[in-house]
Amino acid sequence: MTPDPPPRPAIFISAGESSGDRHGAAIVREIRRAMPATRLFGIGGREMEAAGVSRIAGLDELSVMGGTEVLRRLPGFIRLERRIRRLFVTEDVRLFLPIDYPGLNLRLARSARRQGRRVLYYIAPQVWAWREGRVRNLRRDCDRVLTVLPFEAALLKRYGVRAEFVGHPLLDAPDPPEGGDDDGAAPVSRAAAGARTAGAGRVIGLFPGSRAQEVRYMLPVFAAAARRLARRHPDLDFIIARPPHLPESLYAEAGFPTAGAGEATARSWAALTKSGTITLELALAGVPMVVGYRMGRVEWAIGRRLVRVPSIVLVNLVAEAPVVPELLQDGLTVGQAAEALELLLAEEAPARREMLRGFNVVRERLGKPGCSARAAEHAIELLAGSQPGRAPDAAC
């Protein structure tokens, strides 16, 4: 009897949030286009699964945020890590491809490295902003780190990390933003522009996050600010962005309809949002915004001592200017949020026009489309050079 052939080498891809799921699905499609027979396992959401990833855990199992929240879930993370280590061996995983989400992915990168797997970190975790020690982990455990923000690669290289800027995956959208208007206002996609002019009223989008704990912290303030604005401006409508892995019941008390983040972005005239990648998505869609963020007091006290950047808003960091107002912790109040949004409502409002001009700067600095394809090329190259059970190389 002819023995069964050994399994084809596999890739394990790990994304812990909705944005990572979406970007992970994009790189998976590029990998499968070049190497259709590639086996892919991973942690992710519905988009990665639809792209061809065999999931061993979903986003709902990872929906935590920072500090004590992570500590409470640590035993579960450890059990999951053990399962993944076993899968690395049984499925001959040659390449580990983590996407952001450092709380779990840096631990998995360490495990993969110890087992002699290649590690390609796609969308570098923003550890440079608050924990320099973790940058050393990237140098030790990663063959390459792909960055999607223009300033990250040079910063990481200073620490000896093999990093490369590949552009931003948001620019790979099927309907990318077009050029701005004569006044320098930010580019708006055709779909977004059509959605905003089709209805009679203006829509304010509320984006409280993709993790359950974030939503619990942010949504009550966001919704109260929206109700205050509604009393002052009866013509306004409101919509809450809800990721598919979070239940509708989490949003019931807010009293506003929900939709996916893409639909909410396309319909929004202005937005009140948490920090994170969503700020770049809104900027590229030409949606003026106010950023608000809250977390537990212990996590906030720790974070204030560790953060080493002038802003937590990616739009401001990329533009190197305070383009978007940010209301943090005790500064995020119903009154402050409502007043900051009110300054953005009129089409010719100076604050709105100035913010839209700042969005153009962000658009230019994020590079050219094709990020997912470039990242896939790195993955394919590392996979082709992998060997079962190889000893880890020197620090990359």
All domains of the chain, ordered by start, with CATH? Answer: 10-171+369-384 (3.40.50.2000), 177-365 (3.40.50.2000)
In 3D space, the residue among 324, 359, 329 whose CA is nearest the CA of residue 344 turns out to be: 324
Cα gap 212→243, rounded to integer Å: 10
Burial of 61 (0-12, 13-18, 19+ CB in 10 A): middle
Please list the alpha-helical segments (H only) found in 184-211.
Answer: 190-198
Cα gap 29→373, rounded to integer Å: 9
> From the CB of residue 102, how many other CB atoms can be counted at a distance below 10 Å?
19
In 3D space, the residue among 54, 50, 61, 45 whose CA is nearest the CA of residue 99 turns out to be: 45
How confident is the model at residue 181, as a pLDDT? Answer: 39
How confident is the model at residue 187, as a pLDDT? Answer: 44
126 pLDDT exceeds 50? yes
Diameter of the chain by CA atoms? Answer: 80
pLDDT in tens, 181-211: 334 444 444 444 444 544 447 999 999 998 8
Tell me the residue type at 232: R
Tell me the residue type at 253: E
pLDDT in tens, 137-194: 999 999 999 999 999 999 899 989 999 999 999 998 765 444 433 344 444 444 444 4
Average confidence (pLDDT) over 285-310: 75
Top pLDDT among 132 and 48 is at 48
| CA distances (Å), origin 355, targets 92, 95, 128, 286, 359 | 49, 41, 26, 9, 6
Q: Tokens representing 139?
A: 């140098």
The total number of residues written for the chain in this structure:
396
Cα gap 183→146, rounded to integer Å: 34
pLDDT in tens, 320-352: 999 999 999 888 999 999 999 999 999 999 999
Tell me the residue type at 157: K
How confident is the model at residue 298, as a pLDDT? Answer: 65
253 pLDDT exceeds 70? yes
How confident is the model at residue 1, as a pLDDT? Answer: 54
What is the pTM assigned to this prediction?
0.79
Cα gap 297→116, rounded to integer Å: 40
In 3D space, the residue among 254, 246, 252 whose CA is nearest the CA of residue 226 turns out to be: 254
pLDDT in tens, 60-110: 777 654 555 566 777 877 888 899 999 999 999 999 999 998 888 998 999
The per-residue pLDDT of the chain, averaged, comes to 86
Top pLDDT among 133 and 337 is at 337
Cα gap 165→254, rounded to integer Å: 40
16 pLDDT exceeds 80? yes
